Amino acid sequence: MSILTKPRMIGLAIALIIFAADQWIKDYVTGPLEINRIGDYVEILPFFDLRFTQNFGISLGLFEATSPEMRYALVAVTALIALVVFIWMLREKAFGDILGLSLILGGALGNIVDRYTLGYVVDYADLHFGDFRPFLIFNVADAAITIGVVIILARSFFVRDKEEEQDIEPAQT
């Protein structure tokens, strides 16, 4: 049996699409739209702005890279995590899990490229309701990673339990 089955190929394609979309949107926001300095923003809707920020850390700004050594250490750690996700995705059989992992992989690759080339991750999506911001400023990669993690967690809590219950039920005679 080939490791590159149709569901896995679809997963790899989704990861590539997420990566490409993330990089293209970041380039568009910081290039043609010229939202490329701290404080720059454009209101799109009353509750959504494009607002430039630099994220020197990982999720929620944790583990901020304050030196070149820390920057490359974050690149190495996140690349290792992306490699683990890639291998996990190649071993998965269920398309739901492959989908979640592909979103995580595509998002991770987008943020790794930023961190490696710029020293920080470009964040620009600012969802807010007045002064209330339910999320920090984020990007497509962050959204994909979050959705992928939610899919993996939901499937691990709900789908696998149902499969196990079906396996445990005694045979009907």
Predicted confidence (pLDDT) per residue in 44-93, tens digit? 999 999 999 999 877 655 667 778 888 898 899 999 999 999 999 999 99
Question: Quick check: is 142 catalytic?
Answer: yes
Element (H, E) at 15: helix 6-30
3-state secondary structure of 140: helix
* Catalytic, out of 126, 142, 161, 167: 142
Q: Provide the whole-model pTM.
A: 0.86
Query: What are the backbone dihedrals phi and psi of residue 138, each rounded to the nearest 5 degrees, phi first?
Result: -135, -175
Q: How far apart are CA 83 and CA 88, in angstroms?
A: 8
Task: Give pLDDT, residue 59.
Answer: 63
Residue 123 falls in the annotated catalytic set: yes
Q: Please report the pLDDT score of residue 102 as a whole number.
A: 98
> Could you list the pLDDT tens digit for every one of the 173 residues in the chain?
577 789 999 999 999 999 999 999 999 999 999 999 998 999 999 999 999 999 987 765 566 777 888 889 889 999 999 999 999 999 999 999 999 999 999 999 999 999 999 999 999 999 999 888 888 899 999 999 999 999 999 998 887 545 555 545 555 54
CA pair distance 147, 101, nearest whole angstrom? 10
Of 22, 97, 123, 126, which is the active-site residue? 123
Which whole-number Å values give the CA distances from 114 to 22, 78, 110, 150, 166, in the listed order?
10, 12, 7, 24, 45
